[in-house]
Structure 1
Amino acid sequence: MLLHVLPALVVGAGLGFFGGLFGIGGGIIAVPLFVIGYGMAQPMAQGTALVLMVPNLLVGWWRYNQRHPVPARQALTIGVISMAATWGVAHFANALNPAVLKVVFSVFLLGVALRMLARRKDAAESRPKIDPRYLPLVGVAGGSSMGLLGVGGGLVATPLITGLFGQKQTVAQSLSLALVAPSSVVALAVYAGAGQVDWKIGLPMAASGLLTVSAGVSLAHRLPEKQMRTAFAAMLLLTALWLLVSPLVMARLR
């Protein structure tokens, strides 16, 4: 039991730190880890990742909101929209073939990473392309991603908020957490109801991740914004390639 819990505690601490650093819940790393390292099916991996993501996202939201407060009305609107989208799409995701869901997950990460790496203009110099009144509609895209993939609400919302609404990276991450944090709770409820959660692995990771989220958030506000965006995109790209290539590697090893 100890040998089973200790690795989960170490991994959870690392995921909590990176989740705080990039304004996400750590699921984009946890899901492929569960699929490849623990041999979980894609829906189970996504559901288990949500166990550690929920507390990480809630703490990250609180810490980011201290530095970049989101107006209560705006946070409520974007949160309600994202939760509604998450609820509907999560039920659809649990009915999909796991292999199809895995490919969708991989392609999604690859697309987001390439889009971010292709951006040459610094976010601080960008100008809003869409009226800020429509910002809550980002909750539809972010919430749908949370429901379908169990992750990705912040990965979708953050680039949209920086690229279309002209917000700085750290401000965008604070806004995206306002929609992702409540959506993650809804997604976890749906996946748990479908029996797609391994609590014995998820809970230890969630506990240790809570200890390191604040350190990641603090570092995020000390790093240069351009390097932050590049590091964020590089992490997504490597994760996507890992997921796409790993089945071929594992087949050869067998």
Structure 2
Amino acid sequence: MDLIVYILILLLTGTFVGFASGLLGIGGGFIMVPVQFFLLTALGIDPDTSLRVAFATSLMVILPTALSGALGHWRRGAVLTGPAIILGTTGIIGGVLGAVISSQSPAALLSFIFGILALGSALWMIASRYPEIDKDPSHPKQSYLFWGFLGGFSSGLLGIGGGVVMVPLLNILLKFPIRKAIGTSTAFIIFASLGGIVTYIFTGINATGLPPYSVGYVNLLQFVALAGTSIPMARVGVKAAHKIPEKKLKYIFAALLVYIALKMMGVFQWLNLPL
């Protein structure tokens, strides 16, 4: 693959990821992981190594992107600071555990789990009725600690920010207004990604067959290309999130997840479709 094409694809992916992060309260891992994985395997990198590099680098990009998006949501009063901190506390622990398990698991299994989680989240969002909620929720700290760990674990295991899990949980189960679910999820992602990043660096420090410019499983070239466009675009996504009707936000989120899920599970390849 030509280097210019490789970099251009990463820059365009970062642009889309940043916008989606600010718009939907997701880290963007469900977009970055498949793109990086397919690019690295096209360059001849072993699939197991490619997927772990994609997971680790995705989290590295998600961290500053989430910081940018969370600041924008906080300025608009859409981040519930207390719940975000409590969720993030166990999110870090879950992120470490998920990354440790991912570093020892085969790529085919992780890719399939990745797709199942994305598809399940999409179907849940489509099927669930979103009540009109106009007041902030009140829940015991223990519930936030549990769901924070779950979101963090999925983050570390699959290289996602955890927002794909956290947004529906906050809105459907914990009764957050959708915009505050998105804003609080974006803040949670900051914590969840940290545990996974540190773990992937240490578990990959002695790995062989890594692409050039890698620190552990984090690839710095891909990080710079993706983060350079995703960070500014996150602020654009935040502005759009506060203008688009809530129902449209839900369906945009779900449609994106369905496509990514089918792609990672190999459904299009099985059906011989060029998607």
TM-score (norm 1): 0.89
Does residue 124 (structure 1) correspond to residue 169 (structure 2)? The answer is: no
Deviations 1:26-85 (Å, cap 9, x if unpaired)? 111111112224325322211122232111111111111122354544333221111111
Deviations 1:157-189 (A, max 9, x none): 111111111111111112222321121122112
Whole-angstrom distance in 2 between the partners of 1:9 and 1:158 = 26
Aligned to 1:27: 29
Task: Classify 1:74/1:118 alpha carbon distance in 2 versus 1 (closer, same or farther; 3 Å).
Answer: closer
Contact 2:81/2:184 (CA < 8 Å) preserved in 1?
A: no
Residue in structure 2 matched with residue 155 of structure 1 by the alignment: 164
Question: 1:248 aligns to what?
Answer: 270
Bigger shift: residues 198-207 or 1-10: 1-10
Equivalent of residue 151 in structure 2, options 139, 142, 156: 142
Query: Where does residue 223 of structure 1 map in the other structure?
Result: 244
Query: Does the CA-based 8 Å contact 1:60-1:213 persist in structure 2?
Result: yes
Describe the shift of the 1:3–1:157 C-alpha distance in structure 2 as closer, same or farther (beyond 3 A): closer
Does the 8 A contact of 1:59 with 1:210 survive in 2? yes
Shift in CA distance, 136/66, structure 1 to aligned 2, threshold 3 Å = farther
Q: Supply the distance in 2 between the matched residues of 1:128 and 1:104 (Cα, whole angstroms).
A: 33
What are structure 2's unaligned runs of at least 5 residues?
42-46, 205-215
Give the Cα separation in 2 of the matches to 1:19 and 1:125.
22
More helix by share: 1
Contact 2:59 2:161 in 1 (8 A): no
Against the structure 1 CA distance between its residues 115 and 3, is the aligned structure 2 distance closer, same or farther, given a 3 Å change threshold? closer
Rounded Cα–Cα distance in structure 2 between residues aligned with 1:35 and 1:130: 40
* Change in 2 beyond 3 A, CA 1:64/1:230: same
Aligned residue pairs total: 251
Deviations 1:7-36 (A, max 9, x none): 322321222112211111211111111222
In structure 2, do the counterparts of structure 1 residues 71 and 129 end up closer, same or farther at CA, with 3 Å as the change threshold?
A: closer
Please report the RMSD computed on the Cα atoms of aligned residues, expressed in angstroms: 2.5
1:205 paired residue among 221, 226, 251: 226
Structure 1 distance, partners of 2:70, 2:195, is 16
Q: Give the match's secondary structure for 1:211.
A: helix
Q: Conserved in 2, the CA contact under 8 Å of 1:154 and 1:177?
A: yes
Tell me how far apart the structure 2 counterparts of residues 26 and 86 of structure 1 sit (CA, whole Å). Answer: 16
TM-aligned CA distance change 1:241 to 1:52, over 3 Å: same
Matched, 1:171 2:192: no
1:99-110 to 2 correspondences below 5 Å: 99-110=108-119
Among 31, 38, 63, the alignment partner of 1:36 is 38
How do 1:88-103 and structure 2 match up within 5 A?
A: 88-103=97-112
- After TM superposition, the structure 1 stretch with the greater mean CA deviation from structure 2, 175-184 or 95-104, is 175-184
Give CA-to-partner distance per residue, 1:169-220, whole Å, 9 cap, x none.
1111122223211211221121122222222122111011112110111001
1:112 aligns to 2:121 (yes or no): yes
Kept in 2: contact 1:128–1:164 (CA 8 A): no
- 2:59 maps to what in 1? 50
Alignment partner of 1:232 is 2:253? yes
**Matching residue's letter, 1:241:** L
- Please tell me the residue identity of whatever aligns with 1:51: M
Give 1:246 shift: 4.5
Q: Matches of 1:217 and 1:128 in 2, distance apart?
A: 20
Identity of aligned residues (%): 29
1:11–1:71: structure 2 CA closer, same or farther, 3 Å change rule? closer
TM-score scaled by structure 2? 0.82
